[in-house]
Structure 1
Amino acid sequence: MTRRAVITGIGVVAPAAVGREAFWDLLSSGRTATRPISLFDASAFRSRIAAEVDFDAVAAGLSPQEIRRMDRAGQFAVVSAREALADSGLDIGGVDPGRLSVSLGSAVGCTTGLEEEYRVLSDDGRLHHVDHRYGVPHLYGHMVPSTLAVEVARTAGAEGPVALVSTGCTSGIDAVAHGAQLIEEGSADIVLAGATDAPISPITSACFDAIKATSPNNDEAGHASRPFDARRDGFVLGEGAAVMVLESEESALARGARIYAEVSGFANRSNAYHMTGLKPDGREMAEAISLALDRARLDPSAVDYINAHGSGTKQNDRHETAAFKRSLGARAHEVPVSSIKSMIGHSLGAIGSLEIAACALALQRQVVPPTANLHHRDPECDLDYVPLVARDHVMDTVLTVGSGFGGFQSAMVLTRTLQEAA
């Protein structure tokens, strides 16, 4: 018999919101965390804005050794994992380490640490042949993305399956889906699942500048991320992490744990079309949505809220709107849709897990987060995008989707359990 995977703990490090409750407060109030970049001198860039995390590693409880050893993305992941474990009420000492697993996603790995070290080794790019003697002892770890998952495993004492999922901007959804599969198939009893990325760096900014994917609206940083708005002009780069404790519903009920949501269905597809381009009909995302609903044994009429990818680029928002209509039919015009990227930017691989955390909290609190900065309706984006203000809304089923460079399209369905609804 297939076991049902449920979320019993949530940990978050997000722009302007370190911690789960601060994260929900920011989202439910419709505040934006986008601002001029302060992590490096961005004066030479086309897009000079981002959604940065106000992160104090010492205040977050990391030791000097951990701070020295881990890249910023690793620090985000470990702090999120510790909060998730505490939130779950799980006695980690009573868990068989071999049945405790980690499934972590990341799109760009230890980008921040690698770039900082390259600048040192190359004397700010002046040396063609870098001098390895100036590298930090843990530089090799920065070069191996799986190090991020290993750090989370180390903090939890996990000796079961440990994996790093890297599927671009769908990494966060896909990593949680992999974790849920480990629970369902019986390979693990507890999984720390989520994603982390800290991509706000010169190299990442330069890459997105080159393809004009990020917003150049530097004079209005707080209003630059405008998903589904007729005047949108690109996404705003973000950073952060979210990690969740997954376990079987049977285990959670037996120990009296609070259950946020069940991971009841998930699926992914690829468009095999273009590295950055999207087909306007949204077929591949629609197929992922339909298959995720089938696996959850639900039909489109069950969907009560859609957490959109909602990046704020012209092509993505049109593509996604078409996918919702194609997969949900008439229901697409009835269900509220919103994008939290309007508030916390696009943290690449991490965003999918931050959005899953937002969906689980929305289910628990029966509130739909708004789409900030949505003032001018785009006729091509004609669904109910919950502009500006959060909305009280009765929900049992939430759909969250992601779209990533390389053609990745992922969908996940979260549902309230009987315990939650009681």
Structure 2
Amino acid sequence: MITGIGVRAPGGSGTKEFWELLVNGRTATRRISFFDPSPFRSRVAGEVDFDARAEGFGPREIRRMDRATQFAVACTRDALADSGLSPGAVPPHRIAVALGTAVASATSLEDEYLVMSDGGKDWLVDPDHLSPYMFDYLSPGAMPAEVAWAVGAEGPVTMVSDGCTSGLDAVGYAVQLIREGTVDAAVAGATDTPITPIVVACFDAIKATTPRDDEPALASRPFDATRNGFVIAEGAAMFVLEEYEAARARGAPVYAEVSGYATRCNAYHMTGLKKDGREMAEAIRAALDEARLDRTAVDYVNAHGSGTKQNDRHETAAFKRSLGDHARRVPVSSIKSMIGHSLGAIGSIEIAACALAIKHDVVPPTANLRTPDPECDLDYVPLTAREQRVDTVLSVGSGFGGFQSAMVLQGLGGAAR
């Protein structure tokens, strides 16, 4: 059960602001301000207005923790407060941590390289200028360790890094730990801060990101015929997950149950996708089977919807293949149209959106969808949020390497509201 949520996303400083942005169909993508983007093909991003000091981090913590780690810890604090889970309520060895990320401490690693190489001027870097926390930046395991220290978790602590499905897979793994009885509670989610010159350059090189630099707010256009790539972004979302009976016994607020989860790989290509969407469709079917649900039970589909022609058409085919005729009746939308694509973090941020959609009975829109692609012919909820009953949500993710993941979330009737 999801009993606590913490979000840091473009356009807001917390979960409430995040949800308000989505239901109002506002976009938070803008010209990159973290560095001069002039040399790059794509100069737009979804940046988070994050003040570490205002978030309660001291100077030593700020130096020790990468920006992505700070996001994760800040979201964890919010999720714990939201859940009302008091310290000591669960034995430390019965609490797990699962954190997802795609590029880990990319921000700090690039900063340290620039210092040691004098801005890239020297091929041989000077180790005398190396940060004493370089190990923390280099080892992704340091990130979930910081979250574990923040909550006093002494159970399994895991980093999940499999590209853009990391945020779904980390939560899916944590749910499995609870189901098998290994732990009673878990803090799980994902974080990424990839808006750095080297990461932007990498996506520029493969032309995956949009060059629509003159219209930053309109640049992310999933399922639109005029789309030409995704908008890179940063962000994080963390959750408190608890065993159902324990959450109910303490009267915890329950947003939703993670009732089904599955992941598959296409074993085909690092960045390419098969047109038939078979692997994503198989993940969807497996997740629905685990939830013991017929495909017609799905009230809303949170799409990966990155805004690349390849992904959007692949995904449309996967929905038709897995949901059959119901694919044409169920609303589908992509919140990346509003906050961009934060790589490994986005799966968890989208889980938060799904849980809030269940709580408020609102389907977020696909912003900037004005010219539908004829090959993407489902109900993609263009421009405006839709009020309707939302009890069961399917959320999917697709990542480089061929990873395809699906998760089913369900409300608990009056108990979840």
| TM-score using structure 1 length | 0.98
- Residues 275-290 of structure 1 mapped to structure 2, 5 A cutoff: 275-290=270-285
User: Over the residues paired in the alignment, what is the CA RMSD in angstroms?
Assistant: 0.8
| CA shift for structure 1 position 129 | 1.6
Mapped pair 1:75 → 2:63: no
Q: Does the residue aligned with 1:219 lie in a helix, a strand or coil?
A: coil
- 1:181-222: CA deviations, max 9, x gaps? 111011111100100000000000000000000000000000
Q: Map Cα deviations across residues 130-165 of structure 1 (whole Å, 9 max, x no partner).
A: 111111110111001111101100111111100000
Q: In 1, Cα distance between the equivalents of 2:237 and 2:351?
A: 9
Once the two structures are overlaid, the 10-residue window that deviates more, 260-269 or 94-103, is: 94-103
1:376 paired residue among 366, 371, 378? 371
Measure the CA separation in 2 of the matches of 1:161 and 1:11: 21
1:416 is aligned with what amino acid? G
In structure 1, what is the equivalent of residue 35 of structure 2? 40
Q: Secondary structure at the match of 1:30?
A: coil
Q: Secondary structure at the match of 2:214?
A: helix
- 1:361 counterpart (334, 356, 363): 356
Residue of structure 2 equivalent to 1:398:
393
Residues 263 and 413 of structure 1 are in contact (CA less than 8 Å); yes or no, is this contact kept in structure 2?
A: yes
Q: Which residue of 1 aligns with 2:345?
A: 350
**Does residue 212 of the first structure (1) align with residue 207 of the second (2)?**
yes
Summarize the alignment of residues 308-327 of structure 1 with structure 2, pairs less than 5 Å apart.
308-327=303-322
Distance 2:412 2:399 in 1: 30
Q: Give the secondary structure class of the aligned counterpart of 2:45.
A: strand
1:68-124, CA deviations, whole angstroms, 9 ceiling, x for partnerless residues? 110000000000000000000000233211111100000000000000000101111
Q: 1:17-416 maps to which residues of 2 (within 5 A)?
A: 17-416=12-411
Q: Is 1:364–1:420's contact at 8 Å kept on the other side of the alignment?
A: no
In the alignment, the residues of structure 2 paired with residue 62 and residue 374 of structure 1 have an alpha-carbon distance, to the nearest angstrom, of 39
Alpha-carbon distance, 1:419 to partner: 4.2
Distance 1:74 1:101 in 2: 17
Aligned length: 417
Alpha-carbon distance, 1:368 to partner: 0.4
In the alignment, structure 2 segments of 5+ residues that lack a partner are none
Any stretches of 5+ residues in structure 1 without a counterpart?
A: 1-5
Report sequence identity in percent: 67
Q: Per-residue deviation at 1:421?
A: 5.8
Which residue, 384, 408, 417 being the options, matches 2:412?
A: 417
Q: Distance in 2 between matches of 1:121 and 1:316?
A: 39
Residue 9 of structure 1 corresponds to 4
